[in-house]
Amino acid sequence: MAKSPFLESIASYMQVRNYSKRTIAAYLYWIKYFIVFCGKQHPRELGSVDIERFLTFLAVERHVSPSTQAVALNALVFLKTKFLSQSIEPLEHFQRANRQRKLPVVLTQEEVKMLLGQLAGVHYLMGGLLYGSGLRRIELVRLRVKDVDFDFKQVRVMFGKGGKHRIVTMAKELVEPLRKHLKQVTFYHQQDIANPAFAGVWMPDALARKYPNATKSLNWQYFFPASRLSIDAASGLIRRHHYDETSVNKQIKRAAKMAGIQKEVSCHTLRHSFATHLLQSGADIRTVQEQLGHSDVKTTEIYTHVLKQGAQGVRSPLSNL
């Protein structure tokens, strides 16, 4: 179903201002939902009371998480104050989502070893970086060649969650396999450059303007590129996109199943395990916070709660019998 002209204009407004594709998609989803919820009235005619009613509906009827409700709130505040240039009254009278946050699923080091043992080639490298560097799945697939620093054994995460940059560690065991993988990336790049239809890799508009020749340079190509060229839906140009992130998750889940791991495993499980194992080895929580890219150390403290569970934190009275 095609978007309405109104939603298209919002998307264009956000694209010009360099909002990420994910943020644009999320905001459009919640703005459209809000408009439908309010009987398809124009948002100019809707106010704080309507927004509060919608947010309460999400918490009470949809049972969304606090983070999901916060995204919906941000989308509607953006709509009214930024896009429509309208003022709104403080939003205080709505039911806040209060779903209790779950403790993260964490693998033992032996389980991680078994899982990685089921992966080979590029999938092993991806799994190794998810666990060994604590990367988010989207951060992994968006890595560019220039972001992998072999000399200092580190990875630069550019425009991570919240648009923040950070530097994370890279296991020395991955250096040579990653160097070997880079040869394949270089081969793809040479083929692409020889193709007259190749428009270069996608880059944010601001960077594309600042570095007009970078789209075809090796340094800016994705470190984990797709296996074939494709048409960029936004521009219609032929590019080589990055490896599909949903495929990464499928590979990790398959490997966990093959390894006989009974826990619910995803890419994020390896990130949780990275943080927990760092703390287990004596790393300072502030260091772990920086490696994960958390704005607030309270977010990182969830992993200390994991360590306090079971035999690592509380001795069962049964053991005294």
- Report yes or no: 167 and 157 within 8 Å, Cβ to Cβ: yes
Catalytic residue among 136, 144, 272, 277: 136
> Is residue 103 in some structural domain?
no
Q: Are residues 181 and 295 in the same domain?
A: yes
Beta-carbon contacts of 253 under 8 Å, excluding residues fewer than 6 positions away, are 265, 266
Q: Give pLDDT, residue 310.
A: 59
Q: Are residues 78 and 118 in the same domain?
A: no
Q: Are residues 212 and 277 in the same domain?
A: yes
Catalytic residue among 239, 242, 271, 277: 271
> Is residue 171 in some structural domain?
yes
Query: For the domain that residue 40 is a member of, what is the CATH number?
Result: 1.10.150.130
Q: Give pLDDT, residue 28.
A: 95
Q: Are residues 204 and 300 in the same domain?
A: yes
End position of a domain, from candidates 48, 83, 118? 83
- Tens of pLDDT along 3-57? 689 999 999 999 888 788 889 999 999 999 999 999 999 999 999 999 999 999 9
> Is residue 102 in some structural domain?
no
Catalytic residue among 32, 146, 161, 250: 161
Q: Is position 271 annotated as part of the catalytic site?
A: yes
| Packed helices 245-258 and 121-132: angle between N→C axes, nearest 10 degrees | 90
Q: Give pLDDT, residue 176.
A: 97
Q: Give pLDDT, residue 309.
A: 66
Q: Give pLDDT, residue 311.
A: 56
> Is residue 39 in some structural domain?
yes
Q: Is position 136 annotated as part of the catalytic site?
A: yes
Q: Domain of residue 31: give its range.
A: 5-83
- Report yes or no: 267 and 112 within 8 Å, Cβ to Cβ: no
Q: Are residues 41 and 187 in the same domain?
A: no
Structural domains in the chain (count)? 2
> Is residue 314 in some structural domain?
no
Beta-carbon contacts of 260 under 8 Å, excluding residues fewer than 6 positions away, are 114
Q: Are residues 167 and 206 in the same domain?
A: yes
Q: Are residues 75 and 41 in the same domain?
A: yes
Q: Are residues 124 and 41 in the same domain?
A: no
Q: Are residues 280 and 204 in the same domain?
A: yes
Q: Are residues 10 and 114 in the same domain?
A: no
Q: Are residues 157 and 265 in the same domain?
A: yes
Whether the pTM exceeds 0.95: the reply is no
> Is residue 99 in some structural domain?
no
Q: Is position 161 annotated as part of the catalytic site?
A: yes
Catalytic residue among 123, 142, 144, 294: 294
Q: Are residues 172 and 295 in the same domain?
A: yes
> Is residue 93 in some structural domain?
no
Q: Give pLDDT, residue 1.
A: 41
Catalytic residue among 131, 188, 222, 303: 303
> Is residue 124 in some structural domain?
yes
Within the chain, which residues score under 50 in pLDDT?
1-2
Query: For the domain that residue 160 is a member of, what is the CATH number?
Result: 1.10.443.10
Q: Give pLDDT, residue 93.
A: 87
